[in-house]
Amino acid sequence: MLTTLQQAFIQAIEQLDLEKVKGLLADGLDPNFIEPEKGPPISIICDALFQWWQPIYDGYEEGQPLSEEEKQQGLAIYLDIMDVLIAAKANVHLWDSEEFFGPLWDAASAACVPAVKRLLDEKVNPNTLDDEGLTILSSISQLMYECDFDEIEWEQTWPEEKQTLQLLREHGAKMTKEMNLTK
């Protein structure tokens, strides 16, 4: 059961209330707890990146992509909250309560290159397995393109998706089948 402060913290993250998040952390709240349904706070903000990604995706689908400025303006609050959590020593390696998805998976599935880079800079393992036994690279490739990373037709990808997958790869992310070869 979460304390009242932990509940307020989760609510502040979900409402993208940076000042309240900062205030609760300044009062000594430890960001390393798990909300039973949603996971740790760092995963909650990374999962919320879908709210940022959806209008970008819709813009591409409708042939009216958002400008880089619009994308960055919408993203700033998510990255600010991530940075505050990381500065407060949030454990970026925790996965949700069922251990199916973690912050790197969530950020990658929202094609959020800056968040993925931030987590990789914190040395989050890009080869953690999801609930189906897939590496993040294979899982996200399947999610986005219904094929593995080595089968993606890059000319049919959105820039953020391509950059996300390539960033994972540049940081040592392997396909599941590559992991199986090394066992």
Which parts of the chain register pLDDT below 50?
A: none
The number of folded domains in the chain is 1
CATH number reported for the structural domain that contains residue 68 in this entry: 1.25.40.20
pLDDT for position 101: 72
The H-assigned helical ranges of the chain are 4-14, 18-26, 41-47, 49-61, 68-87, 103-109, 113-121, 136-145, 159-170, 176-181
Domain around 157 = 4-181
- At residue 135, the 3 state secondary structure works out as strand
Tell me the pLDDT tens digit for each residue of 6-53: 999 999 999 999 999 999 999 999 999 988 888 899 999 999 999 999
Residue labelled with tokens 């070869």: 181
Other CB atoms closer than 10 Å to residue 169's CB: what's the count? 14
Tokens of 57: 């995706």
